[in-house]
Amino acid sequence: LATRIAHRNTGAITGDPVAERLLVRVALDENLHYAFYRDVACAAIELDPSAMVLAMKRQVLGFAMPGFELRGFRERAITIAAAGIYDLRIHHDQVLCPVLLRQWRLRELRGLSDEAERAREAVLTFLESLGGASANAEPCQNAAPANACA
């Protein structure tokens, strides 16, 4: 989802219709990846919600954009954020909150192990702190809606 948003936003700011069409196509392809993994995650939540909450914590707290290990990434990330392509606000408002809270219903999951309960609290605390750290972030309850797992 993060890469879909970044590609779409990059296309929108290029000012070049060919580049924009190309990046829309790339974003659409990224959406197929997102839909697949979303559906797999929904099924896994049904099978073992505790294991999935532990996985959510690992992924959310350890997330890094592709390429973060490359030399000069920090400077490029600052440029990308300044251009409005992808930043903490977008990550919080358009990725984390809609997926974790609306789609996977992290707050409402029941029957979690003690370890998974602690992991859920860690993720929710992280979301709250990230929302406060990102300029103009929307509270998670105002995040764009996402379809919940069926």
Residues with Cβ within 8 Å of 4's Cβ and at least 6 positions away in sequence, in order, are 27, 30, 31, 34
pLDDT at 148: 73
**pLDDT for 23-37, tens place per residue?**
999 999 999 999 999
Report d(CA 49, CA 116) in Å as an integer: 8
Digitized pLDDT (tens) for each residue of the chain, 150 residues in all: 888 999 999 999 999 999 999 999 999 999 999 999 999 999 999 999 999 999 999 999 998 877 888 999 889 989 989 999 999 899 999 999 999 999 999 999 999 999 999 999 999 999 999 887 655 555 666 555 556 776
- pLDDT per residue as tens digits for the range 88-110: 899 999 999 999 999 999 999 99
Q: What is the pLDDT of residue 138?
A: 59
What domains sit in the chain, N to C, each tagged with a CATH number?
Answer: 2-142 (1.10.620.20)
**Residue pair 28/16 in contact by the 8 Å Cβ criterion:** no
